[in-house]
Every structure is written in C-alpha cells, then in structure tokens.
Amino acid sequence: MKQGVQDSGGTGTEDLRGLRADVRVPRQPGSRDVDRERGTPAAPASPAARGEHTHGEPSVPDSRPAVQRSSVRGQILDALRHALVGGDLKPGEVYSAPALGERFGVSATPVREAMQQLTIEGAVEVVPNRGFRVVVRGARELAELAEVRALIEVPVMLRLARTVPVERWAELRPLAEGTVRAASSGCRATYAESDRAFHRAVLALSGNEQLVQIAEDLHRRAQWPLVGGPARPARADLLADAAEHKALLDALIARDLPVVRSLVGEHFTGAA
C-alpha cells in the first residue's frame, strides 16, 4: 500500500516502504504534544521546520528493540543516519517529521530535532510546510570530500606511523577485522559505522579531539549515497575496502611510510 503526503501546492508522495524499522519507542499518553526526552510539553517548531501532513504511511515491521525515553532523540538521529547511508531515505525525496514519528512510534518532536541536526550536517534541507528533503549529491562532491579527507588524514597518519608504538597499533586489530565482518554483511550502513570507528580510532591516537571531530564529519558526508548510484554497493566492493584497513594497519605497524601514503590515498579515492 502506498499513500501520499499532501502539501499546500498539490499532492506529493512520501515513500517509506524501504525505510528500516531501526527503532521503536512505545507510545505513551499525550505523546504528540510531549517531548519524550524531557517529559515536558514540546516547544512549537517554526513553520519552515514543520511537515505536518501525515495522510497515512505504509507500515514496516519493527526489527530492533524499543529504546529508552532518555535517549529518544539520539537514537532517532542514529536511525535516520543509518537509513540515509543505507539508501532507505532517498535523495530528492521529502519526508515529514510527523510521518516519520508515526513510523518510529514517537511524537514528531524528536524526529524534527534529529532532522534539524541533519540539516546542519548538510544531509537534508527544509521544505516549508512539508518536511525535509534528502539532499541530492553528485560525483564531484564525493571527489572533493575525498581530496579534503586526504589532505587532513594522510599527514596525520604519516606522523603517527613514526611515533606511535607498535603495541598501540596492534590494539586496533579488532576494529580492522570488524570492518571485514561488517563488509561481509553486504549492508552499506553497517559497514559505514564500522569504517568510521576504525578511522576514528586511528586519528584519536593524535590526541587532537578537534581533528577527530572534523574528520568524522567529512567521513560521514562521504558515505551518503550518490543520486543515480547503485541502491546497494556490491559486497565485493565493501570487502575490498575493508581489506585496505588491514593492509594499512600492517603498514603502520611496520612503519612503512611509502605504503601508508599509498594505501591512504587509494582508500579515499576508492572508498565504498
């Protein structure tokens, strides 16, 4: 069943059939008018941030356990990021906060707040009186992100390769192997989380929290799917990308700087 979302200018379609049931929050009395994180009446959002038309959405079975009220917004944000990276929130499509709230079993408030965070990150844009449109990206943007990431991370990794003790690198082995297991699942979103965890752990050895945060933001943006690209990357591509993590870790342990430089550069330009 597929039903539409109407706006003031006509009828639009908001297709949620492919959206995973990443979280489910048990509905409680008065949930539409209560901020579930604080248990207090929710402050009204500006008209530009609203998507108030909810004329029915296709139901999708839940696949994850209910979340705690204290962390609703954060878990909704994680779920939306997962859906975005996995391609379940499609570039160019408009999604309303109330409709997604119904989908997750929560009020519109935490969904709207999570979507506003994604707006700051550049993943979605506000569509007045309708909701949020997933930003359409192209190959050029992806190439630019790869270039910026390389400018930041390559010098840092080369410096770390000279200074970090071998035993510290060895501690990252489980994370590198974790990316291979995640790649084996064939799920882009699952792999994306594992991929970021590995890179974050490597850069954290620099002791520079600002660097880690900036690199994390760039990395997350680089993982959003391209418009017109494949709905799901080939499992072989994910496995090849994950294998580079293990090779990079071996080179870092050996302090083989030319190999580190080569692997990091290739990893960014060919990232899944």
Q: Are residues 147 and 257 in the same domain?
A: yes
Residues 195 and 226 in one domain: yes
Does 183 lie in the same domain as 85? no
3-state secondary structure of 5: strand
Residue ranges of alpha helices (H) inside the chain are 72-86, 97-104, 108-121, 139-163, 166-170, 173-184, 188-204, 209-222, 235-254, 257-269
Per-residue pLDDT of the chain (272 residues; tens, 9 = 90+): 333 333 333 333 354 444 544 444 434 334 443 343 344 444 444 444 444 444 444 333 344 444 454 488 899 999 999 999 988 888 999 999 999 999 889 999 999 999 999 999 889 999 998 999 999 988 898 889 989 998 998 899 999 999 999 999 999 999 999 999 999 998 889 999 999 999 999 999 999 999 999 999 999 998 887 765 555 567 888 999 999 999 999 999 988 888 988 888 777 765 55
Per-residue buried b or exposed e for 68-100, using 16+ beta carbons within 10 Å of the residue's own CB: ebebbbebbbbbbbbbbbbbbbbbebbbbbbbb
Count of beta carbons in the 10 Å neighbourhood of residue 51: 29
Torsion of the alpha carbons at 101, 104, 110 and 115, rounded to the nearest 10? -80
117 and 148 assigned to the same domain: no
Of the candidates 194, 189, 208, which has an alpha carbon nearest to the alpha carbon of residue 245?
Answer: 194
Backbone angles phi, psi at 12, to 5 degrees: -120, 165
Angle between the N-to-C axes of helices 209-222 and 188-204, in degrees from 0 to 180, rounded to the nearest 10 = 160
145 and 265 in a single domain? The answer is: yes
Domain coverage including residue 130: 5-134
Question: Distance between CA atoms of 99 and 113, rounded to whole angstroms?
Answer: 14
Q: Which two tokens stand for residue 223?
A: 């993982």
Domain count, the chain: 2
Helix (H, G, I), strand (E, B) or coil at 249: helix
Please name which of 44, 34, 37, 252 lies closest in space to residue 159, comparing C-alpha atoms: 252
Boundary of a domain, candidates 134, 166, 186: 134
196 and 128 both lie in a single domain:
no
Q: Are residues 112 and 181 in the same domain?
A: no
The pLDDT score that the predictor gives to residue 19 is 54
Is 47 in contact with 3 (CB distance < 8 Å)?
no
Same-domain status, 161 and 201: yes
Residues whose CB falls within 8 Å of the CB of residue 100, separated by 6 or more in sequence, listed in order: 16, 80, 108, 111, 115
* CATH number assigned to the domain comprising residue 201: 1.20.120.530
